[in-house]
């Protein structure tokens, strides 16, 4: 008998980043030294003090048993202090914060929470591909809204249809754009008018360049009534493998979110939560160092590409460079060209939506030396790129 999975599994989209990893792995097994700029997987180590905090907490018997399904109170309290310190947002840690096993999981859970079968869910185009998984599991309809350079990658709320849920993401993956105050105010107004839930993915909220600052949706007047915000520790503290994050928002949404989580899992390992609380309470210097690291790498990439005659915008935040294909060619063919000619793997922009068709995304999570070598390789072959008419 051939097993037939349920429809909700069959309708899941192909996992974009898994395909990139498979491509790089296959090439490396064949003897090629591929430099992988396709993924946002930090190579830099977690600060040793956080590893020590994890080890100490793991030795405590209370974390060796089942913990509270609702998460560690100390972590929620630290997160409340973090939002207040960063954005002036005051949160009740017992009612307005939920602990999640990584933001990727929370994104899927939000679609399950908010959308019934057939409901519309708005996602940015270009945008993070993993928004789509929860939409598919919920049986909802994916509705893409375009983000373009002409509008500094801000949504046009006057042209959006009604929906049950809308995902926002600033600093934006993949372009590195920041939200304006007007954008967040317009989002709240639109959500009030349509009855939608806003979900602001703040994965890169600490990583903003040139002295700038990210904005919190929850700092916008009235946002708590219509929205939630998701905080990831993966990038700021190099804790990607730890799988820990938080969702903040109005008490009614958080209560429903935690009820859903009660039935799906029983919270993250308590020692990881304890270390995450240390990161949020004591990690301002680490966050500043991470920002400086990625700003330096951004400049290395942008300056190197511009030196090779490639026109590339300078991202304002995040851990990626969004590169329009030289000559306006197709991003998938340009990515293939770079892999074949330079042994450099980049992410084709179409993987982030049709608006990315003529772009590719480069990750800044590779070590400086490899990043510099990758840019040198690209510079050495780009003159042979003819816009994709003959990318082989």
Question: Residues 74-100: pLDDT tens digits?
Answer: 999 999 999 999 999 999 999 999 999
The answer to whether the 7-45+285-384 and 48-282 domains have the same CATH topology is no
Task: Please check the confidence at residue 244 and state whether its pLDDT lies above 50.
Answer: yes
The confidence band for 389, taking pLDDT boundaries of 50, 70 and 90, is low
The CATH architecture one would assign to domain 48-282 is 3-Layer(aba) Sandwich (3.40)
* Mean pLDDT along residues 133-158: 97
pLDDT given for residue 388 in this prediction: 59
The span from the CA of 101 to the CA of 228, in Å, is 16
The span from the CA of 80 to the CA of 16, in Å, is 34
Q: Work out the mean pLDDT of the chain and round it to a whole number.
A: 95
Task: Supply 270's token pair.
Answer: 């308590």
Phi and psi at residue 340, to the nearest 5°? -75, -40
Which pLDDT tens digit goes with each residue over 368-381? Answer: 999 999 999 999 99
Task: Please check the confidence at residue 392 and state whether its pLDDT lies above 50.
Answer: no
Q: Is 3.90.1150.10 the CATH number for 7-45+285-384?
A: yes
* Mean pLDDT along residues 206-234: 97
Question: For the chain, which residues make up each domain, given as ranges?
Answer: 7-45+285-384, 48-282
Task: Supply 226's token pair.
Answer: 């219509």
pTM of the model: 0.94
pLDDT given for residue 12 in this prediction: 85
37 closest CA partner among 388, 377, 380: 377
* Mean pLDDT along residues 1-30: 81
Q: Interior CA angle at 297 toward 295 and 298, to 5°?
A: 60
CB neighbours of 148 closer than 8 A, spacing ≥ 6? Answer: 355
Task: Supply 179's token pair.
Answer: 């939200």
What is the percent of the chain where pLDDT is above 70?
Answer: 98
């Amino acid at each position: 008998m051939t097993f037939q999975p349920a429809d909700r599994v069959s309708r899941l989209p192909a996992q974009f980043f898994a395909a990139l990893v498979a491509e790089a792995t296959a090439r490396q097994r064949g003897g090629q030294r591929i430099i992988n700029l396709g993924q946002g997987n930090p190579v830099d180590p977690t600060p040793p003090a956080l590893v020590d905090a994890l080890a100490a907490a793991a030795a405590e018997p209370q974390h060796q048993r089942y913990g509270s399904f609702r998460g560690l109170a100390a972590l929620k309290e630290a997160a409340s202090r973090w939002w207040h310190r960063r954005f002036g947002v005051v949160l009740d840690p017992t009612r307005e914060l939920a602990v999640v096993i990584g933001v990727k999981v929370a994104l899927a859970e939000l679609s399950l929470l908010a959308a019934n079968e057939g409901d519309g869910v708005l996602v940015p185009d270009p945008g993070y591909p993993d928004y789509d998984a929860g939409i598919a599991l919920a049986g909802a309809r994916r509705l893409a809204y375009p983000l373009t350079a002409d509008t500094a990658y801000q949504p046009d709320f006057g042209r959006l249809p009604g929906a049950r849920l809308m995902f926002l993401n600033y600093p934006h993956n993949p372009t590195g754009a920041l939200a304006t105050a007007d954008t967040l105010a317009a989002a709240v107004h639109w959500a009030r008018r349509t009855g939608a839930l806003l979900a602001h993915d703040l994965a890169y909220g600490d990583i903003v360049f040139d002295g700038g600052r990210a904005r919190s949706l929850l700092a916008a007047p009235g946002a708590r009534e219509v929205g939630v915000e998701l905080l990831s520790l993966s990038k700021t503290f190099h804790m990607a493998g730890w799988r820990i994050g938080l969702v903040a928002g109005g008490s009614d949404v958080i209560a429903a979110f935690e009820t859903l989580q009660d039935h799906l899992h029983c919270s993250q390992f308590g020692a990881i939560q304890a270390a995450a609380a240390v990161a949020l309470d004591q990690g301002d210097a680490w966050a500043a160092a991470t920002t400086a690291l990625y700003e330096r790498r951004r400049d290395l990439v942008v300056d190197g590409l511009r030196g090779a005659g490639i026109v590339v915008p300078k991202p304002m935040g995040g851990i990626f460079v969004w590169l329009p294909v030289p000559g306006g060619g197709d991003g998938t063919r340009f990515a293939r060209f770079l892999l074949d000619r330079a042994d450099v793997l980049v992410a084709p922009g179409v993987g982030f939506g049709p608006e990315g068709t003529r772009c590719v995304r480069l990750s800044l999570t590779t070590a400086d030396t490899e990043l510099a070598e990758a840019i040198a390789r690209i510079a050495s072959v780009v003159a042979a790129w003819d816009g994709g008419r003959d990318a082989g």
